[in-house]
Amino acid sequence: MLNYNVRYFLELCILSVQEATKNLDAEIIVIDNNSPDNSCEIIKERFPDIILLENKENVGFAKANNQGAALAKGEYLCILNPDTVVAEDTFSNILSMSEKLFHMGMVGPRLLDGNGSFLPESKRNVPSPLTSFKHLFGIKFGKVKNYYANHISETDIGDVDILVGAFIFVKKSVYESVYGFDEDYFMYGEDIDLSYKIRRKGLENYYLGSIPVIHYKGESTDRNAEYIRHFYGAMRLFYRKHFKSNWLLDTMVSVGIRLTSIVESFKNYHRENKITEGYYLVSENNEIRVRLINALQKEVQFTSLESARDLGYSNNELIFDNDFVSFGEIIEEMQQLKNLNITFKIIPKGCDFMLGSDFSDGKGEVITF
């Protein structure tokens, strides 16, 4: 996994991956792109068995992940963002399913945001210039394919053009056969390019909607006008590499990028979290409850997973103690309660902080106690 300055989310991710690989012959590799926080120190202190590569500069997403892939010894690679959380059976289920997939290139799971809601970029079509233009301006009609692969339902399984780089599972031999991520991309677009290259080899990219994974999207993607310029700049690079030049479409996309950058510059993705009416802790640890009361300056009540569904529609926050509930139970509960006006936080096992995100397109929240 590639890390840049998300120390708390990285720690949560590592703990979930360790649980998911307990019974597998696996290694965890972290590449750090010169984070200014204390990410590397935490890894060395708490996770000494992890392979850590410390870059002296930010070399970008593509190059850093290629560095990690080169170090990997296993048959399979999992490109994983540090702002993700997997269940205990995620990798064993993917391995089992992969053996049954015809001409498998890459596979990707159903990604959920910090509220348990589905992230549609989990499955996409090839972003041709016209497809991207439709997506850019929110055009829903026309014969040109939509940006998202809506022909497959959220929980279904099927082949798609593009998988998202937050979680990509692929055989190392396949990854190396297309020379990994194209390092001409610094950030954004690398996953699109890799997916496209693998499809052109005659292999299939599979979306596995039955396997949910949390992706706190706002931690790795700071959405602002600069993000828009970088993202659609990556799209320009993708078009130059894989599509014939067309001055009309080039002009349309360029104008769209500029207009969207202007619009995005007025948006505030660093929004305040909701005002919470009640805090409920899924745990039996009274010491943690007292420390949370002191940190939040609010009353915190114990609850159970069974009782949590009675909390809806009142701006309540549900806090999961990972010493008491598993990652799989947390992911399942978030999906069950996603439409009940409840926000979620996770206290990772053995940690003195809780984190979560109320928005799929904004920064998350970390509270130490």
Nearest partner of 69 among 35, 31, 104, judged by Cα: 31
**8-state DSSP, 118:** B
Cα–Cα distance between 73 and 107 in angstroms, integer? Answer: 19
Provide the pLDDT for residue 312: 74
List, run by run, the mean pLDDT of 10-residue segments along the chain (369 residues).
Answer: 96 98 97 96 96 96 96 97 98 96 96 96 79 60 70 95 96 97 82 93 97 84 57 68 68 63 55 74 98 96 92 87 98 94 95 92 86
What pLDDT score was predicted for residue 226? 59
Measured CA to CA, the distance from residue 53 to residue 69 in angstroms comes to: 12
Q: What is the pLDDT at residue 217?
A: 79
Contacts of 70 (CB under 8 A, 6+ apart): none
Q: Which of 169, 28, 197 is nearest to 93 (CA)?
A: 169
Please count the other Cβ atoms lying within 10 Å of the Cβ belonging to residue 67.
Answer: 17
* pLDDT reported for residue 185: 77
pLDDT recorded at residue 360:
76
So what's the pLDDT on residue 110?
Answer: 98
Output the pTM of the full model: 0.87
- Find residue 318's DSSP bridge partners: 280, 344
**pLDDT of the residue at 221:** 53
Q: Which two tokens stand for residue 246?
A: 């067309």
Check residue 125 and give its pLDDT: 87
Question: For residue 22, with 0-12 CB atoms within 10 Å meaning exposed, 13-18 middle and 19 or more buried, which class applies?
Answer: exposed
